[in-house]
Amino acid sequence: MLVDLNLRQFVGELASDSPAPGGGSVAALSGALGAGLISMVCNLTIGKNGYEAHEAEMKEVRGEAENLYNSLLERIDRDTEAFNKVMAAFKMKKDTEEEKAVRKEAIQKAFKEACDSPFAIAEECLAVIRLADRIVDKGNTNAMSDMGVAAAQALAGLEGAIMNVRINIPSIKDAAYVSEKESAVQKILAEGKSLRDTIQKKVDAKL
C-alpha cells in the first residue's frame, strides 16, 4: 500500500513513469497533512495557561482532525485504485457486440468512481479548512504559522482533488451526474477559497 511507504519511496513512486499514484493521491496527502497540523495546534493549546476557556473545543476539534487525517490517508490508496479500475475497463474485451456493451458500461462506471474518489477528498479537505477557521482565533498563538500552513495544505488538497474530478467529467455520458458534480465542485471550491483567505488574514495579523 502506498500509505505504508516511507516518504522517499512514495515520492520515488510518484516520480516514476506510472500514471498512478498521481494528483488525486497527492491531494489526499495534502489534506491529511493539514489535518495533522490542526491536531498539533490543538495539542499545543490544550493544558496551556491562558487557553482554559477553549480546552473543551480544542479536544473536540482534535478528535475531528484525527478522523479526517486517518480517512484522507486511506484515500491515498483508494484514489489510485479508482484510476486503475478505469485502465482495467479499457482493457476489457470488445470482440463482440455484447462485449462492447459490457466494456462501455464498465468504463462509465469506472469514470464515475474516478470522479467520486477525488470529490470525497475535496469534501474532506474542505472539512479540514472549516476546522482551521473554527480555531484560528483560539489556538496557541505560538503555533499561528502552523495554522496558516494547515489551511494552505488543505486548500491545495481541495484544489488538486477538484482538478481530478474535472479531468474525468468529460468522459461521463450521464448528463444529470455531470451537472450535479459540476455544481457541487463550484460550491466546495468557492467556500474553501473564501475560508482560507479569511484564515490567512487572521494569521498574517498575528505573525
pLDDT surpasses 90 at 24: yes
Least confident of 19-23, 155-159, 189-193: 19-23
When pLDDT is averaged across residues 71-96 and rounded to a whole number, the result is 94
* Residue 182 neighbours by CB distance under 10 Å: 12
Give which of 86, 78, 79 is closest to 111, Cα–Cα. 86
pLDDT confidence of 19, banded at 50, 70, 90?
Answer: confident
When pLDDT is averaged across residues 32-58 and rounded to a whole number, the result is 97
What average pLDDT does the structure give for the chain?
A: 95
When pLDDT is averaged across residues 29-46 and rounded to a whole number, the result is 98
From CA 171, how far away is CA 183, in angstroms rounded?
17
Q: What is the pLDDT of residue 60?
A: 98
Q: What is the pLDDT of residue 42?
A: 98
Q: What is the pLDDT of residue 18?
A: 83
From CA 55, how far away is CA 169, in angstroms rounded?
43
Q: What is the pLDDT of residue 21?
A: 86
Residues 6+ apart with CB under 8 A from 152: 34, 196, 200
Domains of the chain, by residue range, sit at 22-206
Q: What percent of the chain stands above pLDDT 70?
A: 100
Arch. (CATH architecture) of 22-206: Up-down Bundle (1.20)
When pLDDT is averaged across residues 115-130 and rounded to a whole number, the result is 97
Q: Is 91 helix (H, G, I), strand (E, B) or coil?
A: coil
Using one digit for the tens of pLDDT, what is the confidence trace for 84-106? 999 999 999 999 999 999 999 99
Give which of 125, 119, 136 is closest to 61, Cα–Cα. 136
When pLDDT is averaged across residues 26-39 and rounded to a whole number, the result is 98
pLDDT surpasses 80 at 20: no
pTM listed for this prediction: 0.94
CA dist 99 → 24, 70, 88, 104, 189 (Å): 30, 40, 14, 8, 39
